[in-house]
Amino acid sequence: MVIKNVIICDVNGERSLDIEIVENIVTQIGENITSSDYFDAKGAYLLPTLVDLNVRVKDSSLNSKSIDNLAYEAKKGGVGRVVLVPDSTPSISDEITLEFVQKHGSEECSVEIECAISAINDEGNLSNIAILLKNGALGPYVKTTTNNNLVSKIAQYTQMYNKTLFVKAEDKSLSSDGVMNEGERSVEFGLSGVSELSEILHVSRMIEIAKFYNIDILFKSIATPRSIELITQAKKDGVKVKCEVSIHHLLFSDEKCADFNQVAKLDPPLTSKDRVEKLLLALSNSEIDILTTLHQDSSLSAKDVAFVDASYGCSSIAHALPLYYTKLVKSGVITMSKLLQLCVQNPSLAIGENRGTIEVGTKASFTLFDPTKTTEVKDTHSLYNSELLSGKIIQGVL
């Protein structure tokens, strides 16, 4: 098939050319490619499909239906590769559960469903990390509530198998009772808060772990500017650390929790308005490495209850590409090529691949995206419900 009149955009920039795809491989890129089998894109973008490393199935309940539904939502949003957070029910911490995800994911030919593995099992002990990594797990995932002895052992496995350690930085002694960011808004709303120190202290701790063991660490869903400052300085010092930030934390402050808005109850919590501005500045300064939709959908019974009891997370992956485009590219914060670096190349590098370019020989995993059209969000569990986003996916995950 030949796609004509298309703007091919990847991490290297944009060019208006035709592209031929044969048996799922790019065979030609050039002007006036002729074929009886062609599609006129009418000036739309051809983009690599997005990669999201921080996604949960509905209610964190891991089963065939929840994975199928997630794959369907990801395809709608232009996300071609999803990496599940492993602290689901059941947790992805043994060979049986890992194999279930791998086999099920392979059945979804247009959306790849993969997973990290929980380095700590449900009993609080080390998982069989070596076997799980040998069996194709992308890397170990750990929360910093884990004690230093176990974290050191996990770091050694990470070093041995040359993987990235995925880290959720938090301190339960500072956050166990909190349901939103600790500050003026939590006092105003009468809700218990989570101190920003919960994240900052453990980012600092894990930077030292990364330095000592010379391993790659990706800090998941960072929400405080001070954490990014620490990570940025560590990079300058040669420590192999990177940070991921959600689109929501770049756009909304804890004011979104007003009127006990359960959809705005996220983990990590939305922060103060001045910190949101600093996070956006960090993005502009290329101090943020990876973006995520931080997708976690919930059933009505889990979300539409009192704020304190509501589950964490919001629905977002089904509108990922129009959302990123509207809020970050069209608004002038970053370019489309930079977006692809943050949402394709960098996350793929974190799991041992290098995606994000479109050239002859590339395996086709593309999205056709028309920036002149619009997409309306109709999802009460989305922070963007009722918004009219710029851009529409013509064909998701080719």
The whole-number pLDDT of residue 197 equals 95
The whole-number pLDDT of residue 398 equals 58
- Averaged pLDDT, 34-60: 94
The whole-number pLDDT of residue 104 equals 82
The whole-number pLDDT of residue 108 equals 54
Contact 325, 371 (CB under 8 A): yes
- Averaged pLDDT, 247-272: 97
β-pairing, 164-168 vs 180-181, is: unpaired
The whole-number pLDDT of residue 65 equals 93
β-pairing, 25-30 vs 13-22, is: antiparallel
Which domains are delineated in the chain?
2-395 (3.20.20.140)
Its pTM stands at 0.96
The whole-number pLDDT of residue 123 equals 92
> What's the CA gap between 144 and 170, in Å, rounded?
6
Selection from 371, 355, 331 nearest residue 247 by Cα = 331
Number of residues assigned to the chain = 398
Buried b or exposed e, range 294-323, using 16+ CB within 10 angstroms: bbbbbeeebbeeebeebbbbbbbbbbbbbb
β-pairing, 38-40 vs 45-48, is: unpaired
Q: Which residues contact 171 (CB under 8 A, 6 or more apart)?
A: 144, 145, 197, 198, 199, 201, 202
Q: Which residues contact 319 (CB under 8 A, 6 or more apart)?
A: 76, 77, 375, 377, 379, 382, 384, 389
Residue 60: pLDDT above 90? yes
- Averaged pLDDT, 258-267: 96
Q: Is 23 exposed, middle or buried (0-12, 13-18, 19+ CB in 10 A)?
A: exposed
Token digits for 177? Answer: 């009772």
- Averaged pLDDT, 51-67: 96
pLDDT tens-digit map of 317-355 = 999 999 999 999 999 999 999 999 999 999 999 999 999
Token digits for 52? Answer: 């999201």
β-pairing, 193-194 vs 180-181, is: parallel
pLDDT tens-digit map of 175-220 = 678 999 999 999 999 999 999 999 999 999 999 999 999 999 999 9
The whole-number pLDDT of residue 107 equals 55
Find tokens 């059941």 and name the residue: 90
Share of the chain above pLDDT 90, in %: 92
Sign of CA dihedral 182, 316, 287, 112: positive
Share of the chain above pLDDT 70, in %: 98
Decide which of 295 and 106 is more confident: 295
Residue 367: pLDDT above 80? yes
pLDDT band at 34 (very low <50, low <70, confident <90, very high): confident
The whole-number pLDDT of residue 397 equals 53
pLDDT tens-digit map of 129-170 = 999 999 999 999 999 999 999 999 999 999 999 999 999 999
- Averaged pLDDT, 357-374: 94
Q: What is the DSSP letter of 295?
A: B
The whole-number pLDDT of residue 35 equals 85
Selection from 397, 390, 395, 394 nearest residue 375 by Cα = 390
